[in-house]
Amino acid sequence: MRRRDFLTLLCGTAAVPSLLRPLSAQPTRAKVPRIGIIDNAPVWEYFRKTLRELGLIEGQNIRYEYRTAEGHPDRLSAAAAELARIPVDLIATFGTPASRAAKAATNSIPIVAISIGDPVRVGLVASIARPGGNVTGNTNFGPDLSPKRLQLLMEVLPNIARVAFLWNPDNASNAVILEELQVALPKLGLQLISVEVRSATEFDAALSAMMRQPPDALLMTNDPLHQLHIAKIISFQTQNRIPGMFMTRENVAAGGFMSYGTSFPELFRRGAIYAHKILQGTKPSDLPIEQPMRFELVINLKAATALGLTIPESFLLRADEVIE
C-alpha cells in the first residue's frame, strides 16, 4: 500500500467513531416543563416575575399554556381538561372555581391554587396542614374577616342599615362568605341584600334590581369573574354613591372606596414559590396551604370625596395606606 493511501485510510477511520456514535450517547435536549394557566390576567405577572427571579425563564426553561374560560363553569371544566390532556407539568389556578375544575380534571398533575377561600369547606384539600392529593396553594381566608369588614364600614358609615353582597353562586367560597354574613349582619342590626351574578351578562339586571331599594354599602369578593369586570362595578358604585368594601388593595387603587384583606400580589408571589418547589420535586401533599399572616386596610380619599363621605382623621391614621 502506498504511503498516501495509508494516510487517507487512517484519517478516514479516525472519523468513524464520531459518525457511528450510538444514538443513546447523542446529547439530548432537556425537557422544558409547562405550567397551565386559566384566564390569564395582569395579576399573573407577579407569578411569572417571581419564577423568573427563581431562575425559570419563559422560552428557555419554562413554558406557559394559557386557556380562556372567563369564569364560566363549563368553560373552566373544558379548559382544565384540555390542560390535563396536553399534559402540562403543573396547573396554577386563581380562585376556587378554577381550582375545583382543575381538581376534577386530574388527580395526578400538581395544582397550585392561589387566593382561594376555605379550601377544606369547598372540598379542595383534606386539611390545611396536610392537603393530601395533588392540590396545595394559599388562601385569602381568615377568621372573622366578614364581621371585621362590616365593623370598619360601620365606623365610617354610622347610619348604615342595608348592606348588599355581590357574589357568584357558582363559587363555593363566595357561598361560605354569604353564610358568614347571614350570621353576622343581624347581630349588628343590619339587613342583607343578596346580589347574584354568575355571568357577565347578568351584571346590568342584577345591579338594577338592587337599586329598587338602594343599599347603604356594597361588599364584594375576589371572584375571578367579578374581578374581570371590576371597572364596571366600581363605576356603578361611584355613579350611584354606594360605598364599596373590597378584599384587595388593587380594587381600591382602581377607584374603589375601601378594602380590608391580604395582599393580592403576595398571594401570586407565594404561589410561584410553591410552583417552583413542586417543579423541583416536592410533592403538593407535603406543602401545607399557606394562610395570610397580615391584613391591610386601604382607603381611597378621592373615591370617598366622590361618594360624598368624610373620613375621620382617627380612622385614616389606622389605615395601612391612604390613596389620595
* pLDDT of res. 143: 75
- pLDDT of 108 above 50: yes
- Report pLDDT digits (tens) over 224-258: 899 989 999 999 999 999 999 999 999 999 999 99
Q: Which helix (H) or strand (E) covers residue 197, if one does?
A: none
* pLDDT of res. 141: 84
* 89 touches 63 (CB < 8 A): no
Superfamily of domain 145-261+295-323: Response regulator (3.40.50.2300)
Length of the chain equals: 324
* pLDDT of res. 267: 95
- Report pLDDT digits (tens) over 141-155: 887 889 999 999 999
**What single DSSP character describes residue 216?**
S
Per-residue pLDDT band at 16 (split at 50, 70, 90): very low
Q: Which of 236, 231, 237, 203 is nearest to 217 (CA)?
A: 237
Share of the chain above pLDDT 90, in %: 81
- pLDDT of 18 above 70: no
What's the count of helices (H) and strands (E) in the chain, helices before strands?
13, 12
Cα-based distances in Å from 250 to 30, 54, 297: 39, 25, 12
Residue extents of the structural domains in the chain: 34-140+264-286, 145-261+295-323
| Adjacent-strand bridge partners of 297 | 260
Q: What Rg do the C-alpha atoms of the chain give, in angstroms?
A: 26
**Locate cell 342599615: which residue?**
161
Higher-confidence residue of 212 and 18: namely 212
Higher-confidence residue of 256 and 23: namely 256
* pLDDT of res. 293: 86
Per-residue pLDDT band at 13 (split at 50, 70, 90): very low
* pLDDT of res. 29: 59
Per-residue pLDDT band at 6 (split at 50, 70, 90): very low
Question: What is the residue-averaged pLDDT of the chain?
Answer: 90
Q: Which of 216, 184, 202 is nearest to 309 (CA)?
A: 216
Decide whether 34-140+264-286 matches 145-261+295-323 in CATH topology: yes
Relative to beta strand 321-323, strand 34-38 is unpaired
Choose from 24-33, 53-62, 168-177 the range with maximum mean pLDDT: 53-62
Share of the chain above pLDDT 70, in %: 91
- Report pLDDT digits (tens) over 184-237: 999 999 999 999 999 999 999 999 999 999 999 999 998 989 998 999 999 999
Contacts of 21 (CB under 8 A, 6+ apart): none
Three cell numbers, residue 94: 386563581
Q: 313-320, long-range: CB within 8 Å, 24+ apart, which pairs?
A: 315/155, 315/156, 320/296
Q: Which helix (H) or strand (E) covers residue 50, if one does?
A: helix 44-53
Q: Which of 162, 165, 160, 159 is nearest to 181 (CA)?
A: 165
Chain CA centroid to CA 231, Å: 18
Domain 34-140+264-286 CATH assignment equals 3.40.50.2300: yes
* pLDDT of res. 156: 95
- pLDDT of 316 above 50: yes
Question: What letters, b where the CB count within 10 A reaches 16 and e where it falls short, cover 211-234?
Answer: eeeebbbbbbbbbbbbbeebeebb
Cα-based distances in Å from 218 to 162, 197, 204, 212, 285: 9, 14, 15, 14, 38
- pLDDT of 71 above 90: no
Cα-based distances in Å from 159 to 181, 190, 215, 290: 18, 10, 12, 37
User: Which phi and psi angles does 100 have, rounded to 5°?
Assistant: -70, -35
